[in-house]
Amino acid sequence: MSVATEKLSPHRGDWRRVLSPTGNFGDAIFRILMTAVAFFVVAIVVGMILTLGADSLMSIRQFGFGFLTGQQWNPVRSEFGALPFIYGTLMSSLIALLISVPFSLGIAIFLVEQAPHYLAKPVGFLVELLAAIPSVVYGLWGIFVLAPFLRVYVEPPLARHLGWLPFFQGQITGIGLLTGGIILAIMVTPIISAVVRDVLSAVPGNQREAALALGATKWEMIRVVLVNGAPGIAGAVILGLGRALGETMAVTMVIGNRAEISSSLFAPSYTIASAIANEFTEATDALYLSALVELGLILFLVTFIVNGLARVLVWNVTRKTGGLTRTA
């Protein structure tokens, strides 16, 4: 633990030198440039929130907080409630993380701790390649391969053996919340595993040697490495979560796009991003458009809150373990 805190101090010193230039002209320009770039990003975020807020004013005035709790989404009658979309977004991302986090940790541990060199490189490369596939391709693959597969081989046994749970009831079509969650899991796994792999390789070798020298088994040694990398791993999960919350095309193709809250994972659902992508082009009247923009604002806030919660979590873990400070 103390190794990690010692490593921190020269790191901090370097930053201080950059932030307080020694009268060097180049340093000054560099500092101004960097400040401008940083504020540019802040300005974009603030600008986006302001624009979304301004354009959704009409809907906010009309529905107030009822927009967040309303379960009806009926453009024909100008009734707009966002709860089914919020539910669908959070649930599909939750399913995605539940599936992909164990997988990603497994991949990363294999690549860093166990794979022989001739395997680690190509497998790592293939995993990263998965991250580069466009999401519409995932979506089409979802419709033509994944959904029929789930409909025939996965969902019927789930309904047979776990049908007493409310999650696995109802009509089986292969299209729905579960399929959306699984597609998302496949999409975020390469991102999470690539970052976790880097985090684990950054854990100093002497930690491993120390664990082994104390008589730890390989499994116990890996636990030491995981605890050290915990903040970084949490950061990787946040990154994956961000992708899952905002993913549009692939989810739209397989989630069934139905604004209804159902306890069953087989039932069709809807995410905020999908709703915006689906309905924006043909939304003609002003209140409808405004409601869609407010959905965007809510997605922004949901992402913000979820990210914030995750960061608080990371901060807590870091304090407890005192592990490496690397957060991706």
Contact map string, positions 220 to 249, toward other proteins, x by CB under 8 A: ------------------------------
- Nearest approach, Cβ of 77 to other proteins (angstroms)? 7
* Distance from C-alpha of 145 to C-alpha of 102, rounded to nearest angstrom: 23
Q: In terms of CB distance, is 97 or 272 closer to other proteins?
A: 272
* Residues numbered 77-106 forming contacts with other proteins, rule: CB under 8 A: 77
Contact map string, positions 172 to 211, toward other proteins, x by CB under 8 A: -xxxx-----------------------------------
Q: Phi-psi bin for 256: left (phi > 0), alpha (psi -120 to 50), beta?
A: left
- Span of 67-75, 106-114, 126-134, 212-220 interacting with other proteins by CB under 8 A: 67-75
Is 76 a binder of other proteins (CB under 8 A)? yes
Q: In terms of CB distance, is 109 or 323 closer to other proteins?
A: 323
Is 6 a binder of other proteins (CB under 8 A)? no
Is 71 a binder of other proteins (CB under 8 A)? no
Instruction: Give Cβ neighbours of residue 310 (< 8 Å, ≥ 6 apart).
Output: 234, 237, 238, 241
- Nearest approach, Cβ of 148 to other proteins (angstroms)? 5
Burial 99-109 (b: 16+ CB within 10 A, else e): bbbeebbebbb
Q: In terms of CB distance, is 77 or 117 closer to other proteins?
A: 77
Which residue among 103, 279, 301, 307 contacts other proteins (CB under 8 A)? 279
Chain centroid to CA 322: how far? 25
DSSP assigned state of 235: H
17, 71, 8: which is closest to 322 by C-alpha? 8
Sign, Cα dihedral of 286, 287, 291, 292: negative
Is 151 a binder of other proteins (CB under 8 A)? yes
Which residue among 227, 277, 287, 301 contacts other proteins (CB under 8 A)? 277
- Span of 20-28, 44-52, 85-93, 140-148 interacting with other proteins by CB under 8 A: 140-148
- Nearest approach, Cβ of 109 to other proteins (angstroms)? 23
86, 100, 180, 90: which is closest to 135 by C-alpha? 180
Total binding residues for other proteins by CB under 8 A? 42
Which residue among 73, 85, 87, 168 contacts other proteins (CB under 8 A)? 73
Instruction: Give Cβ neighbours of residue 115 (< 8 Å, ≥ 6 apart).
Output: 123
Instruction: Give Cβ neighbours of residue 266 (< 8 Å, ≥ 6 apart).
Output: 155, 159, 168, 169, 170, 171, 172, 173, 176, 177, 178
* Distance from C-alpha of 203 to C-alpha of 232, rounded to nearest angstrom: 10
- Span of 60-68, 73-81, 112-120, 239-247 interacting with other proteins by CB under 8 A: 73-81
* Distance from C-alpha of 249 to C-alpha of 137, rounded to nearest angstrom: 9
- Give strand ranges (E) for 82-233: none
* Distance from C-alpha of 235 to C-alpha of 244, rounded to nearest angstrom: 14
Which residue among 49, 140, 212, 313 contacts other proteins (CB under 8 A)? 140
* Residues numbered 14-33 forming contacts with other proteins, rule: CB under 8 A: 14-15, 18, 33
- Give strand ranges (E) for 17-140: 73-74, 79-80
* Distance from C-alpha of 180 to C-alpha of 96, rounded to nearest angstrom: 8
- Nearest approach, Cβ of 281 to other proteins (angstroms)? 3
- Nearest approach, Cβ of 90 to other proteins (angstroms)? 19
Contact residues for other proteins, defined by CB under 8 A: 10-11, 14-15, 18, 33-34, 37, 72-77, 140, 143-144, 147-148, 151, 171, 173-176, 252-253, 256-259, 268, 270, 274, 277-284
